[in-house]
Amino acid sequence: SAGPRSRALFERAKAVIPGGVNSPVRAYRAVGGTPLFLAKGEGAHFEDADGRRYLDFVCSWGPLILGHAHPEVLAAVAAAAGSGMTFGAPCAGEIDLAEAVVARYPGLEQVRFVSSGTEATMSAIRLARGATGRDLIVKFAGCYHGHADHLLVSAGSGLVTFGRPSSAGVPAPFAELTRVLPLDDEAALDALFAAEGSRIATVIVEPVPANNGLLLQRLEFLRHLRALTARAGALLIFDEVISGFRVARGGAAELYGITPDLATFGKILGGGMPVGAFGGRRELMRHLAPEGDVYQAGTLSGNPVAMAAGIATLGILERERAWEELEELGGYLEQALAPAFAAAPFPVQLVRQGSLFWMSLQAGAPPRRADAIASGAAALYKAIFHGLLARGIALAPSAYEVGFLSLAHRPEHLDQLAKALGEVFAELAGERG
């Protein structure tokens, strides 16, 4: 449980910040208890405000692929900040990072920087609508694309459904232009395109859905999606905010050999700073102002400090052959956890793609769609989460968020996680017995 300093800080925060947090999942509502307030990070560990040290598998929800406070990234940020935090004007760093992104990602010719993943997806959808002259957008239940109004919609009971707001403050007419489909269902996709294909501007998907569990998709489904959108004249957007520069050098597009029309990025791209980006072919990107009539802007977009962090991070990943190393680390994690999982008093299996991992707390094949996740998973995860936290290991405070490996993690850290999980499972077995 949180120490006295974290508890005192949370009380102060609740007075001046809604719910005491600046992003909802941080409040520990899903797992109970008081959130840890963090004070310092180094490598694969962080310290909370009470000076307690934890092995970190949250990695700031994905950006810290090099671990906390990588000295080269810190040096790059300090040097850039020393010359000025922001200019609201062009700087050389923007070109350097844009060239690095374009060189890495399949089919990308131009990219524009923003300050968050939400901004990136919001802007990519506006661009898709502007470029196609169509209004409808399609998303999948269980894929999260940030908190723009038209994306905060959830599926109803039918296979093909009109979007319904899943947040107060989103007018129904906004959501009515969004269609929501289940993942892993070609028939539902075909039915929607048969009915409304000529009105669909874009389909946005996380090619590696990692915001509602790790719902790994069949390659055939993603290929079908690519073919269907191309035939209908709709644009395919890959939301690679989590998967970009993590599951492969060129993200899921490289991993699966599928080139989307537009892609969105964040997290790793900023190296720990707030950075997002969206990009695609030049013929699409020319619709953006000042060349075209799709407006998008941002005072802090492309600021030199954030660009420096991103350039340093991508450079280190390249130099360290990061994706090979992270795949090896992920393989080691599978082996390390296998004995604990086999002895667990309930079904549990590891779902993994490279350095992304998630515990599926149910029998049978791991789920590929949101409505296939067992309803009892959250209560079980709550006990696992607190059992690990008591042993100095931090996973995300939600059963539906994924875990992250970084280059700072070593095999002994994964052994530590396996040992702790074994102990927690044994405790839970005793309680059940």
Query: Catalytic residue among 144, 256, 381, 400, which?
Result: 144
For 82-143, give the DSSP string: HT-S--SS--HHHHHHHHHHHHHSTT--EEEEESSHHHHHHHHHHHHHHHHT--EEEEETT-
Query: Catalytic residue among 267, 381, 382, 400, which?
Result: 267
CB 367 within 8 A of CB 217: no
400 is catalytic: no
419 is catalytic: no
144 is catalytic: yes
Q: What angle do CA 185, 190, 194 make, to 5 degrees?
A: 155
CB 407 within 8 A of CB 59: no
CB 253 within 8 A of CB 214: no
Instruction: Give me 272's structure tokens.
Output: 């720990």
Burial code (b: 16+ CB inside 10 Å, e: under 16) for 396-421 equals bbbbbbbbbbbbbbeeebbebbbebb
Nearest to 190 by CA among 227, 144, 215: 227
Q: What angle do CA 239, 244, 245 make, to 5 degrees?
A: 175
Could you give the CA distance from residue 182 to residue 185 in angstroms, rounded to a whole number? 6
Query: Catalytic residue among 48, 184, 239, 261, which?
Result: 239
Return the active site residues. 144, 239, 267
